[in-house]
Amino acid sequence: MTVGKIHSDSGEVLIQISPLIHFSKFEPGSDQDIARKPLHVKAIPCQVNKQTELSPLHDFMGKLLQPEVLESLKDYVRWQARWREGFATGSMTFEQALETAPGQAPVSINLDVTTACNYRCDHCVDMDILNKNINYDHELLKDSLTHLVDNGLRSVIIIGGGEPTAYKGFEDVVRHLKSMGAQIGVVTNGSMMKKIEAVADVLQERDWVRLSLDSGTNETFRAMHKPGSKKCTLEWICDHIPAIKKLNPRFMIGFSFIIVWKDCETNDTQIIENIDEMVAAAKLAKQHDFDYISYKPFLTRSEQNNAEIVGIDKQQESVASTMHRIRDAIVQAKQLEDGKFSVIESTNLRVLENGTYMDYSKQPHNCHMQYFRQVLSPLGVFNCPVYRHVPQALLGGKHAYATQNGLQATQRNTLKLIETFDATEECKDVTCLYNHANWFIEDLINHPEKLDSLAPSFDRGDYFL
């Protein structure tokens, strides 16, 4: 099995990635492959039933129907319908189709500002890419963000990869994005809350900051996260929140809890169970003025293709008792809810529990959401957070969006990848929260006449995808 490589813009090999990274059926798509046999010819019946478990947060189709982004969606659908028609009638090559490709930026990105991290979390799903000392040119990163916003980018989740607040240009990036009106979410390990305090003044109602804390006692917190500094305790981190809330109460601050159970294994080590601390964590969050606690299941990397998948073996007998304990804890945590504090269960936790997770793993062949939501990282531009740093999911270099031409070229690469990356196969183990949106778009492409009566939804003012 070959080892995957990430290349710099100039072509040198930056890092080699674990041999586990291997797409089962994926062959890098050349234009010739697309011309011979594009993926869409494998069309399967549409499954557009609304997935009722989706919280408004994860109703990505509803978000794409908002008035300010609906035209981008329609342009994309019309282009896909024209290309499919052209292919079916033999009147258009893929290259010709690309000449009229829509030129918008993704609506939303995950932005990894650095791969550096000051923790060594035993459960980290991105362990392979941490501390690679691969960096952006800061001014080119800002140019990329400017071009992206100028071409339709509406929201940015600043996350990792590494720890966003460890990036020395963190404050500058946040202020730059806010000066252009983008919505911002920040996911942080909480070790440098001064950096969050420093940007609190520019954050607005729809922006948010989420701290990944995963524990209810300091002992478990330190054992799970292994922070570099001794002063970094769970209480010390939480103690920063009331002051930030006083500075600016408008944006939401969340306590994130990744639920880890017996037998969870990743990075070749067994990791620390924390189910028994779910309720204590909720109490701590409430006491310290967090707006919410969110519970999500542990993810691991697929041995098949390195995709992030829910780390539970559904065949195991212990699943039912594990789910029982999680449910009990959530019921207790919910008793703490009031007008100022809420308890959020992630959609993939809910569907795991009620058994409907299989509905989220039947993807159409073409994943259209790649066009609307991507990952920008110092390792390059990737098609989906699930494949952050997987070489075959690479759409361009780290500065691919730094120029207008680069932006057009990268979105054309995206259209090529949509025709060659078979989501039905590659994402068959992924509880993909974009599943409904992908099927909905697939249906529109097959029936473009529906666009005429497709009315904008109400404006939620939420563009996070």
Q: Which residue from 285, 104, 252, 105 is spatially nearest to 184, judged by alpha carbons?
A: 252
Region of 12 please: left (phi>0), alpha (psi -120 to 50) or beta: beta
Q: Please identify, using beta-carbon distances, which residue of 158 and 386 lies nearer to ligand SF4.
A: 386
Q: Does 367 bind ligand SF4 (CB under 6 A)?
A: yes
Report the run of H or E that residue 158 belongs to, with start and end: strand 155-159
Q: Please identify, using beta-carbon distances, which residue of 266 and 305 lies nearer to ligand SF4.
A: 305
- How far is it, in rounded angstroms, from Cα 376 to Cα 400? 9
Q: Does 109 bind ligand SAM (CB under 6 A)?
A: no
Give 301-332 as a DSSP string: E-TTT--EEE---TT-THHHHHHHHHHHHHHH
In the list 122, 163, 277, 345, the residue contacting ligand SAM (rule: CB under 6 A) is 163
Only one of the segments 9-17, 124-132, 400-408, 454-462 lies at the binding site for ligand SAM (rule: CB under 6 A); that segment is 124-132
DSSP helix/strand/coil, 175 = helix
In the list 299, 309, 427, 444, the residue contacting ligand SAM (rule: CB under 6 A) is 299
Residue 381's beta-bridge partner residues? 376, 396
User: CB-hemisphere CA count at 13 Å for 11?
Assistant: 0
Q: Does 123 bind ligand SAM (CB under 6 A)?
A: yes
Select from ligand SAM, ligand SF4, none the partner in contact with residue 363, using the beta carbon and a kind-dependent cut-off of 5 to 8 Å. Answer: ligand SF4
DSSP helix/strand/coil, 405 = helix
Select from ligand SF4, ligand SAM, none the partner in contact with residue 422, using the beta carbon and a kind-dependent cut-off of 5 to 8 Å. Answer: none
* Sign of the alpha-carbon torsion through 170, 175, 181, 187: positive
DSSP helix/strand/coil, 191 = coil
Q: Does 375 bind ligand SF4 (CB under 6 A)?
A: no
Pairing verdict, β 155-159 and 108-112: parallel
Q: Which residue from 105, 165, 166, 176 is spatially nearest to 141, judged by alpha carbons?
A: 176
Select from ligand SAM, ligand SF4, none the partner in contact with residue 423, using the beta carbon and a kind-dependent cut-off of 5 to 8 Å. Answer: ligand SF4
Cβ at position 278, least distance to ligand SAM in Å: 14
**256 to 295: interface string for ligand SAM, x by CB under 6 A:** x-x-------x-----------------------------
Cβ at position 79, least distance to ligand SAM in Å: 33
In the list 187, 238, 312, 384, the residue contacting ligand SF4 (rule: CB under 6 A) is 384
CA Rg value for the chain: 22
Cβ at position 125, least distance to ligand SAM in Å: 4
Q: Does 432 bind ligand SF4 (CB under 6 A)?
A: yes
Q: Specify whether the CB–CB gap between 417 and 451 falls below 8 A.
A: no
Q: Does 107 bind ligand SF4 (CB under 6 A)?
A: no
Cβ at position 362, least distance to ligand SF4 in Å: 10
- How far is it, in rounded angstroms, from Cα 86 to Cα 84? 5
With tokens 């492959």, the residue in question is 33
Only one of the segments 17-25, 181-189, 285-293, 412-420 lies at the binding site for ligand SAM (rule: CB under 6 A); that segment is 181-189
Report the run of H or E that residue 184 belongs to, with start and end: strand 183-188
Tell me how many residues contact ligand SF4 (CB under 6 A): 12
Q: Give the chain's count of helices (H) and strands (E).
A: 16, 16
Select from ligand SF4, ligand SAM, none the partner in contact with residue 38, using the beta carbon and a kind-dependent cut-off of 5 to 8 Å. Answer: none
**189 to 208: interface string for ligand SAM, x by CB under 6 A:** x-------------------
Q: Which residue from 211, 152, 205 is spatially nearest to 186, judged by alpha carbons?
A: 211
Q: Does 254 bind ligand SAM (CB under 6 A)?
A: no
Cβ at position 424, least distance to ligand SF4 in Å: 9
- How far is it, in rounded angstroms, from Cα 272 to Cα 276? 11
Cβ at position 430, least distance to ligand SF4 in Å: 4
Residues engaged in binding ligand SAM (CB under 6 A): 117, 123-126, 159-160, 163, 187-189, 212, 256, 258, 266, 298-299
Contact set with ligand SF4 (CB under 6 A): 363, 367, 369, 383-384, 386, 423, 427, 430, 432, 434, 438
